[in-house]
């Protein structure tokens, strides 16, 4: 049984100094901050005491990966890792091959603790840094982290963690897309009964992001590139305080890609299967008139989803009753002496309405409680990108954008903790 007294030396001058600062703190805030320093030192002592005890336990040495004989201890060596509470040090046995094979030094305790050989910061610090970076610039994230850890954290360190975690997220996605392409469908996500009974809505939109010039130089003309974003959610009704019934998106999931509709399609389908497109009682595809997105709908979703053309986009064409308008248009196009410009406009209008004939039965959609505007789809898409990637003066490298985008997706989709394999929940 671990005893706190064993791990803290009462005569430790560093602890005495910190305790003195607590006693002398004039204001409540200063008192709390001074006590926090004590807590941090105690925490480090506690962790180091546990590690010291574990390092003394007998251990089973693995075999040399090259010659197969059991490795042998070369004695104790010090290891240090930066944590949320400051640096943590421990001494543990390291082993080498007795035949002198050129293999890296092996530390079985580190492996048991889940520490990688080159790792210099512990998981909880990286996770918090990445969580902050999902919302604020790297420099701000580094500064906030510095407040908590009591040490300077560099923006480059935060970027390094984002890269590592973003890379894991992208690799996992690639594995899932590969499995999907092999016909291996993912299991639908578990849903509460009321959500499972609600209609599933899908939509997509394009959002422009500023990138550095080709080659990634910091100077030169900004390149704007489109990010395709898809949203999937369950539709819920909510009554406001004034008694008005409004539609809300629940269990919102986002997919996004720096690329075109063809790159979006498998990602959207993967998530659609996870969100129960094959089981949902009603599925709706909501979109404006963008043709690539309607092609995606036809190719991938039409077997499951009703397609609804955004009412407000259709209204721009002064739609009043599709069949009547279409008939009038055919007549109008036959009028002799029609100026070419008018003919072009009417032809475009005819093609638009004809293409979306099945997607504009608004009276029926309203009766079914389905939304007829894609505004909420578009704002969900915009939020993912706008809030973090379009700050004043921001310009991205494709590499930087992609790593952070996948962390942000993990966050909004409730998969962030899984990415780090730890939960930083306060209700442990």
Residues that bind Zn ion (CB under 5 A): 64, 66-67, 97, 99, 101
Q: State the minimum distance, in angstroms, from the CB of residue 171 to Zn ion.
A: 31
Residue 363 CB-density burial (10 A; 0-12 exposed, 13-18 middle, 19+ buried): exposed
Cβ proximity to Zn ion, 97 vs 306, nearer residue: 97
Buried b (16+ CB within 10 A) or exposed e, 207-226: bebbbbeeeeeeeeeeeeee
Cβ proximity to Zn ion, 97 vs 107, nearer residue: 97
| CA distances from residue 110 to 46, 78, 115 in whole angstroms, order as listed | 18, 11, 5
Q: Which residues pair with 207 in a beta bridge?
A: 227
Q: State the minimum distance, in angstroms, from the CB of residue 99 to Zn ion.
A: 4
Q: State the minimum distance, in angstroms, from the CB of residue 98 to Zn ion.
A: 7
Among 133, 191, 183, smallest CA distance to 160 is for 133
Cβ proximity to Zn ion, 97 vs 145, nearer residue: 97
Q: State the minimum distance, in angstroms, from the CB of residue 93 to Zn ion.
A: 17
Cβ proximity to Zn ion, 106 vs 195, nearer residue: 106
Cβ proximity to Zn ion, 65 vs 150, nearer residue: 65
Q: State the minimum distance, in angstroms, from the CB of residue 66 to Zn ion.
A: 5
Instruction: Give 35-43 contacts, CB < 8 A, sequence gap 24+.
Output: 37/150, 40/85, 40/86, 40/150, 41/14, 41/15, 42/4, 42/8, 42/15, 43/85
Q: DSSP letter string over 138-198?
A: HHHHHHHHHHHHSS---HHHHHHHHHHHHHHHHHHHHHHHHHHHTT-PPPPPP--HHHHHS
Cβ proximity to Zn ion, 108 vs 289, nearer residue: 108
Cβ proximity to Zn ion, 64 vs 165, nearer residue: 64
Angle subtended at Cα 206 by Cα 203 and Cα 211, rounded to the nearest 5 degrees = 150
Q: State the minimum distance, in angstroms, from the CB of residue 210 to Zn ion.
A: 53
Q: State the minimum distance, in angstroms, from the CB of residue 107 to Zn ion.
A: 17
Among 78, 9, 122, smallest CA distance to 422 is for 122
Cβ proximity to Zn ion, 105 vs 154, nearer residue: 105
Cβ proximity to Zn ion, 66 vs 174, nearer residue: 66
Q: State the minimum distance, in angstroms, from the CB of residue 71 to Zn ion.
A: 8
Locate 355 and state its tokens. 């293409």
- Helix runs in 204-310, H state only: 261-274, 291-296
Interatomic CA distance for residues 86 and 145, integer angstroms: 11
Cβ proximity to Zn ion, 61 vs 148, nearer residue: 61
Q: State the minimum distance, in angstroms, from the CB of residue 80 to Zn ion.
A: 28
Q: State the minimum distance, in angstroms, from the CB of residue 116 to Zn ion.
A: 22
Angle subtended at Cα 381 by Cα 130 and Cα 421, rounded to the nearest 5 degrees = 30
Q: DSSP letter string over 329-372?
A: HHHHHH-TT--HHHHHHHHHHHHHHHHTGGG--HHHHHHTT---
Among 397, 399, 313, smallest CA distance to 355 is for 313
Q: State the minimum distance, in angstroms, from the CB of residue 191 to Zn ion.
A: 52
- Helix runs in 193-339, H state only: 193-197, 261-274, 291-296, 311-315, 322-334
Cβ proximity to Zn ion, 99 vs 120, nearer residue: 99
């Amino acid at each position: 049984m671990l005893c706190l007294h064993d791990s803290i030396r009462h005569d430790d001058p560093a602890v005495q100094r910190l305790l003195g600062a607590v006693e002398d703190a004039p204001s409540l805030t200063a008192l709390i901050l001074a006590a926090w320093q004590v807590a941090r030192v105690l925490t480090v002592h506690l962790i180091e005491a546990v590690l010291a005890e574990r390092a003394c336990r007998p251990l089973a040495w693995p075999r040399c990966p090259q010659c197969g004989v059991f490795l042998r201890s070369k004695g104790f060596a010090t290891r240090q890792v930066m944590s949320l509470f400051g640096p943590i040090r421990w001494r543990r046995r390291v082993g080498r091959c007795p035949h002198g094979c050129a293999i890296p030094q092996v530390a079985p305790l580190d492996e048991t603790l889940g520490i990688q050989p080159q790792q210099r910061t512990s998981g909880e610090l990286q996770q918090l840094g990445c969580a902050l970076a999902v919302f604020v610039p790297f420099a701000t994230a580094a500064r906030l982290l510095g407040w908590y850890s009591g040490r300077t954290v560099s923006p480059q360190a935060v970027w390094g963690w984002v890269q590592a975690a973003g890379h894991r997220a992208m690799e996992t996605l690639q594995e899932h897309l590969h499995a999907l392409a092999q016909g291996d469908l993912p299991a639908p996500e578990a849903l509460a009964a009321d959500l499972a009974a609600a209609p599933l809505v899908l939509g997509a939109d394009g959002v422009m992001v500023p990138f550095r010039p080709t080659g990634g130089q910091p100077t030169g003309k900004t390149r704007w590139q489109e990010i395709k974003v898809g949203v999937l959610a369950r539709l819920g009704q909510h009554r406001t305080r004034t008694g008005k019934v409004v539609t809300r998106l629940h269990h919102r999931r986002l997919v996004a890609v720096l690329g075109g509709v063809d790159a979006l399609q498998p990602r959207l389908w993967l998530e659609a299967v996870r969100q129960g497109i094959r089981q949902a009682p009603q599925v709706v595809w909501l979109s404006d008139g963008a043709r690539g997105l309607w092609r995606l709908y036809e190719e991938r979703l039409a077997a499951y989803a009703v397609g609804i053309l955004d009412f407000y986009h259709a209204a721009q064409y002064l739609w009043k009753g599709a069949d009547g308008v279409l008939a009038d248009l055919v007549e109008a196009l036959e009028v002799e002496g029609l100026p070419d410009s008018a003919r072009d406009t009417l032809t475009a209008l005819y093609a638009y309405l004809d293409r979306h004939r099945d997607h504009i039965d608004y009276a029926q959609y309203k009766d079914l409680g389905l939304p007829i505007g894609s505004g909420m789809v578009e704002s969900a898409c915009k939020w993912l990108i706008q809030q973090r990637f379009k700050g004043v003066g921001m310009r991205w490298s494709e590499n930087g954008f992609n790593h952070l985008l996948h962390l942000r997706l993990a966050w909004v989709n409730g998969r962030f903790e899984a990415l780090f394999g730890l939960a930083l929940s306060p209700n442990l």
